Chains A and B, each alone.
Chain A
Amino acid sequence: GAGVSQSPRYKVAKRGQDVALRCDPISGHVSLFWYQQALGQGPEFLTYFQNEAQLDKSGLPSDRFFAERPEGSVSTLKIQRTQQEDSAVYLCASSRSLIPGQGRFSEQFFGPGTRLTVL
C-alpha cells in the first residue's frame, strides 16, 4: 500500500512489560514523526527523525521511551517497563519535507495508530 502502516494495531501489556511499536512510512519520505494521543486529546509530539538521524526527542516523556530508525525507513518506538499512564494511541507520520514546516511539502501523512493499553 501507499500509506503509512503501523503494527500492531492493538497492544495490551502488563505493567512492567516492554513493548515495541513499528512504523512503516511512505516510501521515500525523509521525515518521520511519533505522537502520543491520549483519549479525548489531540496528538502530542514525541520525537522526529530526518532519515536515520533523530533530530528532536524533546517530547519523549521519560527515559523509558526510546525510538530508532536505523536505516532511515522503518522506525520502532520502544517503551520499557510500561506504566498505566503510558496507555494511549501512538501515531506515526511521515513527510516529504526535509525540515518541519517547510511550505508545501510539510503535510504529514498519518498511520492508523497503535492503541496501547497497560493493565
Chain B
Amino acid sequence: GNSVTQMEGPVTLSEEAFLTINCTYTATGYPSLFWYVQYPGEGLQLLLKATKADDKGSNKGFEATYRKETTSFHLEKGSVQVSDSAVYFCALDNYGQNFVFGPGTRLSVLP
C-alpha cells in the first residue's frame, strides 16, 4: 500500500536558519507529491506540489524536488521566518487511490 514517512518533530530553529524536513514515500506507480501546511488555528493549505519525477515544487521560498530514485520529497527553505511556524504535512496522491498523509512535523521558529 501507499505510505508516507516524515522526520519526527518538533523542529525548533532560529530565524534565518536553513530548514530541511525529510519526507519519504512508498507507492506503486507514479504518485503526485504534496506538502501541506497547517498554521495555528487554521485549516490545511497546499504549500507546493510535484506531479512527476524530477519536478521541483516551490512556493513562498519553500522548495521540494520529487526524487523517484530515493522515493523522497524533502522540504527546504533557505531562511525561515517566525511566520513559518506551523505543522507541515507531506502527502501523496496515487491514481485512483486514497490521499495519504504523513504524521506531520511541527516547526517552531524563534526570533
Contact = CB atoms under 8 A, between A and B. Distances in A.
B46 interface: yes
Question: Secondary structure at chain A's binding surface: helix, strand, loop or mixed?
Answer: loop
A100 B99 contact: yes
A101 B30 CA distance: 9
A101 B32 contact: yes
A8 interface: no
Interface stretch (B12-20, B60-68, B73-81, B89-97): B89-97
Contacts of B58: none
Nearest to B94: A101
Interface in A98-119: 99-104, 106-113
B6 to A, nearest CB: 8
Interface string B68-111: 00000000000000000000010101111111111110000000
A42 B102 contact: yes
Give the bracket for the number of chain B residues in contact with chain A: 20 to 34
A8 B51 CA distance: 34
A99 B97 CA distance: 8
Contacts of A42: 4, 89, 91, 101-104
Given A101-B32, A103-B32, A110 B44 contact: yes
A101 B46 contact: no
B48 to A, nearest CB: 11
B103 A111 contact: no
A100 B93 contact: yes
Interface string B33-58: 01010000011111001010000000
18 contacts: A4-B43, A40-B104, A41-B103, A42-B103, A43-B101, A93-B44, A99-B96, A101-B93, A101-B95, A101-B97, A101-B99, A103-B51, A107-B46, A109-B46, A110-B43, A110-B45, A112-B42, A112-B43
Interface of A: 4, 33, 35, 40-45, 48, 56, 58-59, 91, 93, 99-104, 106-113
